[in-house]
C-alpha cells in the first residue's frame, strides 16, 4: 500500500455514512418507557483519606521554606545597625501641618529602609530608583509646606 492509497482511504473516511437501520424509533421507545427521574440529590464525593496528609505535607513544606528564607536573611544581615542616615548637618524635617507631618514621617522611614536595603545590595538599580523617587517626594512635601 502506498501513500496515494492511504490518502484515498482517508478521503473515503470523511464521506458521510448512513446507518444500516433507522435508530430513532428505538430511541423514542426507550424515552417513553422510562419515567422522568425525580430531582435526585447531588451525590457528594466521599472525602479522601489523603487530604489531611496532603494538608500536613503542605504545611511542613511551607514551614521549611520559611525557615530556609529566614536563615538566608540572617546570614546576609548587616553587621552594624544603621542609624538615621540623613545628610550631615540637616535636621529631620518636621512640618507644622499634621497631614504633611504624617507623610514626612512615612517618607523618612521609607528612606531609612531603602538605605538599609542598599547596604545589603549596593548595586541594585531598582533600589536606587526607589530612593531617588523617595527624595523627590520629600522635596515636593517641603515645597507644599513652604507654599502653605
Report d(CA 14, CA 83) in Å as an integer.
80
**Would 110 be classed as within a structural domain?**
yes
**Would 26 be classed as within a structural domain?**
no
**Would 142 be classed as within a structural domain?**
yes
Question: Tens digits of per-residue pLDDT, 22-60?
Answer: 888 888 888 888 766 666 666 666 655 667 778 888 888
In the chain, the number of structural domains is 1
- Please report the pLDDT score of residue 107 as a whole number: 85
**Would 38 be classed as within a structural domain?**
no
Residue positions counted in the chain: 148
List alpha helices for 15-124, DSSP H.
24-33, 51-75, 98-120
- Give the long-range contacts of residues 134-137, CB within 8 A, separation 24 or more: 134/107, 134/110, 135/111, 137/107
- Note down the domain range covering 126: 98-147
Amino acid at each position: 500500500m502506498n501513500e496515494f492509497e492511504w490518502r484515498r482511504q482517508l478521503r473515503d473516511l470523511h464521506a458521510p455514512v448512513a446507518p444500516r437501520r433507522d435508530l430513532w424509533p428505538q430511541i423514542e421507545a426507550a424515552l417513553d418507557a422510562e419515567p422522568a427521574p425525580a430531582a435526585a440529590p447531588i451525590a457528594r464525593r466521599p472525602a479522601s483519606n489523603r487530604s489531611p496528609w496532603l494538608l500536613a505535607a503542605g504545611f511542613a513544606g511551607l514551614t521549611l521554606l520559611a525557615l530556609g528564607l529566614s536563615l538566608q536573611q540572617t546570614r546576609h544581615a548587616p553587621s552594624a545597625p544603621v542609624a538615621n542616615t540623613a545628610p550631615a548637618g540637616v535636621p529631620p524635617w518636621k512640618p507644622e501641618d499634621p497631614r504633611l507631618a504624617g507623610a514626612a514621617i512615612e517618607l523618612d522611614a521609607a528612606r531609612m529602609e531603602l538605605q538599609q536595603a542598599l547596604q545589603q545590595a549596593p548595586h541594585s538599580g531598582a533600589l536606587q530608583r526607589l530612593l531617588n523617587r523617595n527624595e523627590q517626594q520629600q522635596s515636593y512635601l517641603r515645597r507644599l509646606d513652604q507654599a502653605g
